[in-house]
A = this chain, B = another copy of it.
Amino acid sequence: MQMPEDERRAPEGYDPRDYDPVAVTVDVVALTIRDRALHVLLVRRGVPPFAGMWALPGGFVRGVRDAEDLPEAAARELAEETGLSTEGALARVHLEQLGTYGAPGRDPRMRVISVAYLAFAPELPEPRAGTDAADAAWTPVDALGLTESGGQLPGTTRRLAFDHARILADGLERARSKLEYTPLATAFCPPEFTIPELRAVYEAVWGEELHPGNFHRKVLSVPGFVESTGQTTERGGRRGGRRARLYRAGDARLLHPALLRPSREDTIR
């Protein structure tokens, strides 16, 4: 029971503020595709602890004054960092809860519980540096040297603050998995896109090349994944090639049958 004046441990009228102070924040793992590579939005810390290191955008949840719901808080943090309005370009961004991180000591100063959100965005403008944070940038996730155990390889230049390497690694695994069972790859695309563009999303997130012909047939065979616009691109590929047909996201909320990642035999046990 989430009772503040819980009869089990506190008398009536008891105020948890005087008891066990816990701060609640939201952090956002915002992912996008730029130059065919997966990027994450990071901000550079200007003050200790972890000054000079990079972190996920985030901040306090407004608890009482202007109380906001958790997804609202995540959208607000994202808007503040990208400089976009939540009604405009950010309205098309997919936002879902990733998980909550609350290990004692994850912030060296006091107890902080952080609710992490995961965002899938089409290509967005470069974030405005200098408004809230010392710096902010879309960063290729490959350059962060993330390990499965939630750390970073030695020698990686951009070090992540707090437990943000763990949170980001969890977000990436969630994104990879979501692409298998849901049509959320379309959330990385503009409103109209081609099958090869969609394939580029899968290749960037999964980090492996897919067979163009089989991918094409597979996407069209899944009911509700994409729907045709009847249009094609204006031009073919840069170095030659046919013009591609344009599609919109369909109405399916799950892919059936799913689009499973190849070569997972190794990772399963």
Tell me the A residues contacting B by CB distance below 8 Å.
1-9, 15-17, 20-25, 27, 43, 45-47, 55-65, 67-70, 97, 99-100, 102-104, 106-107, 109-115, 132-133, 161-162, 223-224, 251-254, 256, 264-265, 267-269
Contacts and interface: CB of A to CB of B under 8 A. Distances in A.
A269 B254 CA distance: 7
A69 to B, nearest CB: 5
A8 B113 contact: no
A180 to B, nearest CB: 10
Given A17-B21, A113-B24, A115-B102, A1 B67 contact: no
5 contacts: A2-B107, A3-B25, A67-B111, A70-B100, A256-B264
Contact of A59 (B6, B43, B59, B64): B6
Nearest to A12: B47
Contact of A224 (B6, B47, B161, B269): B269
A155 B200 CA distance: 51
B110 A4 contact: yes
B20 A62 contact: yes
